[in-house]
Chains A and B, each alone.
Chain A
Amino acid sequence: MKDTLPRLLGVIAIAALSNADVRAATPIQKHVHVATSSLPFVVAVVSDHYTNQGEFDSDVDNFFKYGLLAHDYYDDHAAELDIYSFYAPLTAGQQSDYAFDVDTPSQNCVLSWSDASGTDGTLAKLLAVVSGVNPDRIVVIGDHEYNIGCTSGKWTYVAKDAAGTDVLPHEMGHGFGGLKDEWFFEINRGVDHPGIPDSETRNCFDPRAPGTIPPWLTPPAAAKFPGAGSVAGCDFFELNAVHPFDHLVNGHNYCLMGASHDAEFCPVCHELMTEEFRLRDPENPDVTNPDAQIPAPPTGLRIVKTAFVQPTPAPGTAKPTPKGAPPPSGVILKPVPAKPILQLVVAFDPRTGKITPKKGFSITARFAPSHRRLGEWAYEIVNPTLKPEDEIVEVGVFPSNLFRASSYQGGVAHQTTTPQTTDVTIQIPDLPTDFAKTGTPPVIIRIYRLRPNVTDKLITPAVFRRLKSDGDAERVGPDLTAKDILGVM
């Protein structure tokens, strides 16, 4: 018995440890919803503060299968959403493995996070887990019995009691569509909005410039939005910031970007969101923009127009898919092929235009350009070893709304803050996987501030060349060099 008892205790201890509640070396990844479009939005769902995988998997179902994908708007775009989950149990002694603190408000949000350098910052910690799928959005589900949400840049945080509410669909309005909150604080009643530049106008409009009217009331757009008007109060201020629809119109409860529960997107927000999904339509991302970039087709496939379609439908059976609509049921489009990408986390200071590298990840994944402009910031990635006409290898944007967090707890939120340094990501496509060793090609990243009159929807390489030659894009801040990047690889 003297020997048996310790052995028995050892066996019990091993069984207990192997059961759960210890930090897994590698997060458990699941492909929880498979997109059928060729260039879907990829959403990575990450566990935070969980110690039970079954609970997390159930909550992922509640937020997505029975939540976002069952939502009146998002279910129409299920084919364009590719969703992965990543589970890792909470490290013993930690409150969060990603430096979230749900009990301490910060900046604009009800919760706080870390912008620390290197791998200690929240975004870098998240990308260390999910970068393999190169997500467009990261949704962190916190195992806390709160009904709260917050979006900052690439990530959205929701606590588990927000499942089954409007919180995640609302946050995705910020995340996918760059939409603003359509309400104001009582303390801002009678207070002027500090100003919304035309280049940041989405669902909120600043009517102060003489002779201007909101874009949703401007022909020909106005014909698409019967009943739209200029309703006072948007982006946290009552005055000089208007949104398109009152919240109860003809039996509709508008808008999901407002503060009421159980609301739907108003027609203007609906259109702006659908435009975002349309940008991922490789056949024609934006008919209003002739320079729109089309992803290169994969090899070995028959090309119909410029879409990647398989199989060929029988003659006379094919029906055209409406613009922006998901592919018909049963049709799976070949995914855009993976390519080597360097995903770089940088801290961007919008006051100076300076970018400071924090962490780089070499990945091989599908590349989705970041061309949709919102605000005034763009960047170009230059390979000076190429011929002058080819040396700009990619351009991208930092949406200006990244520099203010958006919080929603079924209505509770935040005030406008001054711009602040925020972690963002830059994707450098076609960078050889040995870049971390060789530092070649010697790429350079340059930041540009676009003039306020620039309202092009997409900043493609062709558009960017025109803006530079017209003097509408001003270079700011120091270049980021390959040497700088190597320092964080």
Chain B
Amino acid sequence: MDRSLLLRIAGAVVVVTMVMLAAVWYWRGGPGVAPATPTTKLVIEISGGFAYVAPTGTDNHLEIAYLNDFVLWKDANKNNTMDPDEIEFDDLNGNDRRDPGEPDMCNVNQIGTELKVIRGTIIGHDPSAQSLPASREFNLDKAVVKFPALEAANIPLTIGNLNWPPPAANPVNPDAEAEWVDMVPALLKKHTASAIDPNWRTMVNGRVVLPGGLIKAAIPSSPIFKKARFDFKANHSFKFKAAMTDRTKYTVDVPAGTVEIQLSGATNGFTKLVIQPQGNTVELSLRGMHDLGSAIPGDGAPLKDFCAFYQLMQSRPDKKDFLVPHYIAAPGGTGGAGGVPSPGFFCPGDWF
């Protein structure tokens, strides 16, 4: 074998070795970088009358709170007890006296909130001796829900849009999800002298804490609301018209191969759930349930339970300034009863 051939072979071996080493170096993320952390896509479909509390300053914690029962009353005799004649009523005839047929101004009975696993497998839970529900559905009564992997990740929070109310003509194309981004109400935008009560965390039933990620409003949960509008009235006088949605969607990449959910204070007794993704995704649904009674409002009827959000306001507006949405069915095309809504069922949240 001549010398030049040997040199060529040696050279080729060196080049191949270097290329392989470089590939390994590149694959491992370069100098000083640990192997890539697995991530799991977490999707939470949210529907119902939740209080969405946005962080202030540089904080990235979005909190989604489920409310307690609420009756609007005035402690006239200062005995710290709600007496029957202290319940605020809707003074329909304006005579300052409660007459038969004049309803409570705000009396909302909350049934509860449920978290359900839609995609993924529950591979661990605490206490382990407690049986998991066959429905993979967890009543969140009194629960504060956290995701430990997100707490440590310092992921920025992106909120779709908070320009509320939108123009009455929007959404122009109700099938375009992007046109629904500012369709979750934000009552404080209309009550600028009020603010969320600093003690709100103690005033709600429970909350889901989401550090970072993307939340945006989505197309309503029923097609009949896609083309409908709501007349917002105060003291029965029209103020403005807007579309609303009862659904939002939260997405985030969790820096872990599974999604761990921590529950504290939950009446259901669970303190931890560990969910293995399906594919690369864990999907949860967070639903607010509602006590609808036995009558379903029709076109023009108020969403009477919407007033529950006023319980979280400091410097609460006078009851005559409460904004009450009234359902306005889309003209034509609703047919039969398909266009008849239910305030309990169609239960939008509110941004604070």
* A415 CB-CB contact with B under 8 Å: yes
Bound together, the chains give a CA A189 to CA B223 distance in angstroms of 25
* A412 CB-CB contact with B under 8 Å: yes
Please give, as numbers and ranges, the residues of chain B lying within 8 Å of A67 by CB-CB distance: 135
Of B204-212, B289-297, B310-318, which binds chain A? B289-297
Q: Of A67, A182, A259, which is in contact with the most chain B CB atoms at under 10 Å from its CB?
A: A259
Bound together, the chains give a CA A379 to CA B256 distance in angstroms of 63
Of B148-156, B187-195, B340-348, which binds chain A? B340-348
Please give, as numbers and ranges, the residues of chain A lying within 8 Å of B296 by CB-CB distance: 183-186, 259, 411-413
A147/B222 in contact, CB under 8 A:
yes
B135/A71 in contact, CB under 8 A:
yes
Bound together, the chains give a CA A165 to CA B341 distance in angstroms of 18
1/0 contact trace for A409-438 toward B, CB 8 Å? Answer: 111111101000000000000000000000
Bound together, the chains give a CA A164 to CA B45 distance in angstroms of 12
B297/A186 in contact, CB under 8 A:
yes
Distance between B196 CB and nearest chain A CB, rounded to angstroms: 27
Please give, as numbers and ranges, the residues of chain A lying within 8 Å of B67 by CB-CB distance: none
Q: Contacts A108-B337, A417-B336 hold; do A411 and B118 have CB atoms under 8 A apart?
A: no
* B201 CB-CB contact with A under 8 Å: no
* B160 CB-CB contact with A under 8 Å: no
Please give, as numbers and ranges, the residues of chain B lying within 8 Å of A104 by CB-CB distance: 333, 335
Distance between A185 CB and nearest chain B CB, rounded to angstroms: 5
How many residues of chain A have a CB within 8 Å of chain B? 56
1/0 contact trace for A130-146 toward B, CB 8 Å? Answer: 00000000000000011
A-B contact count (CB 8 A): 175
Bound together, the chains give a CA A407 to CA B133 distance in angstroms of 28
The B contact surface, by secondary structure, is loop
B292/A259 in contact, CB under 8 A:
yes
* B163 CB-CB contact with A under 8 Å: no
Distance between B207 CB and nearest chain A CB, rounded to angstroms: 20
Distance between B5 CB and nearest chain A CB, rounded to angstroms: 32
B335/A247 in contact, CB under 8 A:
no
Bound together, the chains give a CA A71 to CA B221 distance in angstroms of 22
* B325 CB-CB contact with A under 8 Å: no
From A71, which residue of chain B is reached at the shortest CB distance? B135
Give residues 28-85 of B contacting A (CB, 8 Å).
45, 47
Bound together, the chains give a CA A103 to CA B342 distance in angstroms of 18
Bound together, the chains give a CA A75 to CA B221 distance in angstroms of 27
A414/B137 in contact, CB under 8 A:
no
The size bracket of the interface on B is: 35 or more
Distance between A73 CB and nearest chain B CB, rounded to angstroms: 13
Distance between A356 CB and nearest chain B CB, rounded to angstroms: 24
* A58 CB-CB contact with B under 8 Å: yes
Q: Contacts A75-B134, A412-B342 hold; do A105 and B222 have CB atoms under 8 A apart?
A: no
Bound together, the chains give a CA A270 to CA B223 distance in angstroms of 31
CB < 8 Å neighbour of A164 from B285, B297, B298, B342: B285
Distance between A403 CB and nearest chain B CB, rounded to angstroms: 14
Of B16-24, B108-116, B234-242, which binds chain A? B108-116
From A255, which residue of chain B is reached at the shortest CB distance? B294
Please give, as numbers and ranges, the residues of chain A lying within 8 Å of B222 by CB-CB distance: 110, 146-148, 409, 412
A103/B223 in contact, CB under 8 A:
yes
Bound together, the chains give a CA A417 to CA B337 distance in angstroms of 10
* B307 CB-CB contact with A under 8 Å: no
CB < 8 Å neighbour of A146 from B223, B299, B301: B223
A164/B135 in contact, CB under 8 A:
yes
B294/A70 in contact, CB under 8 A:
no
* B243 CB-CB contact with A under 8 Å: no
B287/A164 in contact, CB under 8 A:
yes
Distance between A75 CB and nearest chain B CB, rounded to angstroms: 7
B298/A260 in contact, CB under 8 A:
no
* B219 CB-CB contact with A under 8 Å: yes
1/0 contact trace for A102-139 toward B, CB 8 Å? Answer: 11111111110000000000000000000000000000
From B342, which residue of chain A is reached at the shortest CB distance? A411
Task: Provide 16 A-B residue pairs closer than 8 Å at the C-beta atoms, listed in order of the A residue.
Answer: A69-B134, A103-B223, A108-B338, A109-B336, A145-B218, A148-B221, A148-B222, A164-B114, A164-B116, A184-B296, A247-B294, A258-B294, A260-B292, A407-B337, A412-B296, A413-B296
- Other A-B pairs, 19, CB within 8 Å; known A62-B118, A262-B114: A58-B119, A66-B135, A66-B137, A67-B135, A70-B137, A103-B226, A106-B335, A106-B336, A183-B296, A185-B295, A186-B297, A259-B342, A259-B344, A261-B292, A262-B112, A407-B337, A410-B345, A412-B345, A415-B340
